[in-house]
Amino acid sequence: MCRAKSDPKCRRCTGSASPVTGSARGKAYHSGKKAAGLTAEPKVMAPVPPPAAPVDADTRDIESLRALAASIDDAYADGNPAAIEELDAAYGSPLGAVRALGAAVTSRGEEFAGISADEAVESWQRRRAAAGQSLKDTHAAAKVQQDKDMQDFDAWSAEHHPGVKWEDTGGEGSLRYLRNTYHSEELAAAIAARDEATEFWEKSGIQNAADQESKADLRKIGDGSQAAVAEIRPLGGHLELHEFSEAPAALAVAEASSVYPADWVKASTEAGPLAAAVTTGRAGHNANWINSDRVASDVPRYVICPAGSPREDTPENTFLSVEKGKNGDQADPTSDTWLVQHWDVKRVKGKPKGYDWEAVEPGVWRRKPRGTISGPGVTVSLTDGGLPGRPKGFAVATHELGHHMQVMVPGLSRMEDDWLIDRTTLDGKREELVPRWKGANEFVRTDSFINTYIGREYADAMGDKRETTEVLTMGTQGIFGGDHGGLIGMGSIDRDDDMRAFILGAMASAGTKRRSSSE
Amino acid sequence: MARPSIHGAGPAVAVSVNGRGAGWCDGHFSGDKELIAVAREAAENGQTVELFNCTIVCDAATPLGAIGALASWKPGRTIVAECPPDVAKFFEENKAYV
């Protein structure tokens, strides 16, 4: 019991709050205080450097942009000292050149899109404000009409049933019942309008810029960026996919390849087929193998069964004789060595999703266990809610294909590392790595990234840093897939012009030398 | 050493968003004023938040819902400094991509 209740003279608390409440408040306070010191206030977002010559001379001078892209590639892919010196002199560093090139591409992209990032965000903000206002107005109007209906009813009641209070009545047909169920046509209309506004507010996605108009604007801006990069170098081309790739994932990955430079796609195809599989869990990229729903692992295993032990087939196991390779029922029952074929089994009414399921008996389905595809591959989760005209899972496929490109394109990872180090270094000191959540094995430097995942640092089992980053992947997923507020500040996500410029600059320049040599 | 509490409180959560900290325990938010004002509103409205590629419905009654509410100000900038193991497991299992 609270001491305040047992001891009226106690001045420790008023006794109005339970001690458990006080304890919870204290715990919340101390937890919050501890968290506040976890990360420092981020440094001010690095502004996009003003494009220096020759970029600022005329962003339509495509030849000079191409020349700049080639110099950047020379500096990053080959470490060419002359190129580095030239870019140092003109842009402060090769990274400055990437940013300047990207700023020019961004500007051209908005021209192609016919809508600027500011206009898209303002348009969404207006729509959201209008929807919010409509929500408030319709709620208020319904309340006013409801009050008016009650007043009208009370006036009618006083005229036709003088001296009877509705509060004193009950049952169907009583004044109380009539009052509670009385709806004028105006009130019915006001309630319908209120419900419509509420449904739009809750379900249209307007709060997070996931409404159709916002998505259409994001698509326009993404397409504009794609067209601007395509002015400098061709995009897309044939991406060789593994024959066992799953159709929906292959569709998403093939579409995603259309936003990446043709040189990158070609490098991937020349390196061998890329496998694409669907996952209902976490999507990912692996340079060596992926598990696939399409590939059956048809490898029976030897088991020793003592003579006389039961060897009855079950949905999960089928016994095969070593000698005949047929069903165990036909084998020599005295043999001790058997093969057993294992099956994946599902007990569901309808046919499960995926390939090769066969019915064993009503409600029992089986197929051979799934196997792996060796070689590079991506797994894609087929998420809904993408941009109009894009297949399901497009944004995630763009992300995962970005990881593949990091491996395929020389100099790209170095470029990303440069940018990441620049953004996460303050006064010559790198930011601390922190786990994204307590106990997480993902460590990030938060900087002022729009999503802390961008600052993820990978390490292998020995703790050595891996080449992969989440810069290009998160960037292309945002710019072309419309996630992360398109990087332009849609939804409750911040805007990052510097990242947008870097991504488009990197796409316009990395691996360009390869094109020249192959042509 | 602080006197141990004789009244048990439930699990607590804490987040850091842009260097601002806030916590929650048993329905109570505490910490940065702006952060918790936004969190309370999000919890009241049952707002949906995308955090770590997981979809969370905000509330003030559960640790996960409270994390969603506290993150609703800037989900992309949220670091969860403290959470119960089952919430960490939820994040681990529901990550959409790597």
Structure tokens at A129: 């404000």
Q: Which residues of B touch A283 (CB under 8 A)?
A: 96-98
Sign of CA dihedral A324, A330, A332, A338: positive
Sign of CA dihedral A413, A418, A422, A428: positive
Q: Quick one: which of A215, A229, A216 has its CA closest to A112?
A: A229
Distance to chain B for A19, nearest Cα, Å: 7
- Omega into A369 within 30° of 0, i.e. cis? no
Cα–Cα dist B50/B35, whole Å: 17
Q: Which residues of A touch B54 (CB under 8 A)?
A: none
Q: Residue A289 in 3-state DSSP?
A: strand
Partner A contacted by B4 (CB < 8 A): no
Angle at B64 (CA atoms; ends B61, B65), nearest 5 degrees: 50
How many other C-beta atoms can be found within 10 angstroms of the C-beta atom of residue A463?
Answer: 6
Q: A19-39: buried (b, 16+ CB within 10 Å) or exposed (e) per residue?
A: bebbbbbbbbbbbbbbbbebb
Cα–Cα dist A483/B97, whole Å: 13
Q: Among partner residues A20, A22, A452, which is closest to B79 by beta-carbon distance?
A: A452
β-bridge mates for residue A321, sequence order:
A338
Say what the pLDDT of residue A333 is.
53
Partner A contacted by B32 (CB < 8 A): yes
Partner A contacted by B2 (CB < 8 A): no
Say if the Cβ atoms of B82 and A28 lie within 8 Å.
Answer: no
Q: Which residues of A touch B95 (CB under 8 A)?
A: 282
Distance to chain A for B8, nearest Cα, Å: 6
Q: Nearest residue on chain A to B4, judged by CA atoms?
A: A23
Contact B81, B21 (CB under 8 A): yes
Q: Quick one: which of A449, A453, A460 has its CA closest to A435?
A: A453
Say if the Cβ atoms of B5 and A23 lie within 8 Å.
Answer: yes
Contact B86, A439 (CB under 8 A): no
Q: Nearest residue on chain A to B24, judged by CA atoms?
A: A28
Q: Among partner residues A40, A208, A284, which is closest to B19 by beta-carbon distance?
A: A40
Judge whether residue B60 has pLDDT over 90. Answer: yes
Q: Which residues of B touch A399 (CB under 8 A)?
A: 97
Q: Quick one: which of A132, A220, A191, A194 has its CA closest to A482?
A: A220
Helices in A204-297 by DSSP H: which ranges? 212-232, 247-257, 262-271
How many other C-beta atoms can be found within 10 angstroms of the C-beta atom of residue A397?
Answer: 33
CA distances (Å), origin A355, targets A202, A252, A463: 37, 19, 39
Q: DSSP state, A488?
A: B
Say if the Cβ atoms of A41 and B19 lie within 8 Å.
Answer: yes
How far is Cα of residue B78 from the mean position of the Cα atoms in its chain?
9
Contact A511, A73 (CB under 8 A): yes
Q: Which residues contact A186 (CB under 8 A, 6 or more apart)?
A: A145, A148, A149
Say if the Cβ atoms of B73 and A492 lie within 8 Å.
Answer: yes
Contact B96, A395 (CB under 8 A): no
Say what the pLDDT of residue A480 is.
97
Q: Quick one: which of A486, A484, A460, A455 has its CA closest to A471?
A: A455
Say if the Cβ atoms of A437 and B98 lie within 8 Å.
Answer: no
Structure tokens at A174: 């009583």
Longest CA–CA span in chain B (Å) reads: 45
Distance to chain B for A18, nearest Cα, Å: 10
pLDDT in tens, chain A (519 residues): 445 455 555 555 554 555 556 677 777 777 777 776 565 554 444 444 444 444 444 556 889 999 999 999 999 988 889 999 999 999 999 999 999 999 999 999 999 999 999 999 999 999 999 999 999 999 999 999 999 998 998 898 888 888 888 888 888 788 888 888 888 899 999 999 999 999 998 888 888 899 999 999 999 999 999 999 999 999 999 999 988 888 889 999 999 999 999 999 999 999 889 999 888 778 888 887 787 777 776 566 666 666 566 677 888 888 776 654 444 444 455 566 677 778 889 999 899 888 789 999 999 999 888 878 888 899 998 877 789 999 999 999 999 999 999 999 988 999 999 999 999 988 888 888 888 888 888 889 888 899 999 999 887 545 556 678 999 999 999 999 999 999 999 987 889 999 999 999 999 999 987 644 444
Cα–Cα dist A172/B33, whole Å: 51
Say what the pLDDT of residue A245 is.
87
Distance to chain B for A153, nearest Cα, Å: 33
Burial of A299 (0-12, 13-18, 19+ CB in 10 A): exposed
Cα–Cα dist A212/A232, whole Å: 31
Cα–Cα dist B11/B26, whole Å: 7
Q: Among partner residues B8, B18, B76, which is closest to A451 by beta-carbon distance?
A: B76
Q: Please name the residues between 46 and 75 in chain B that touch chain A, using a CB distance below 8 Å.
A: 47-48, 50, 52, 72-75
Cα–Cα dist A72/A96, whole Å: 10
Query: Which range among A45-54, B8-17, B24-33 shows the weakest confidence by mean pLDDT?
Result: A45-54
Contact B86, B62 (CB under 8 A): no
Instruction: Write the single-letter amino acid at A422.
Output: D
Q: A212-232 vs A62-73: helix axis angle to the nearest 10?
A: 80
Q: Which residues of A touch B15 (CB under 8 A)?
A: 35
Instruction: Write the single-letter amino acid at B20.
Output: R
Structure tokens at B11: 């699990």
Instruction: Write the single-letter amino acid at A255.
Output: E
Say what the pLDDT of residue A320 is.
74
Total beta-carbon pairs less than 8 A apart between chain A and chain B:
172
Say if the Cβ atoms of B83 and A437 lie within 8 Å.
Answer: yes
Q: Nearest residue on chain B to A44, judged by CA atoms?
A: B18
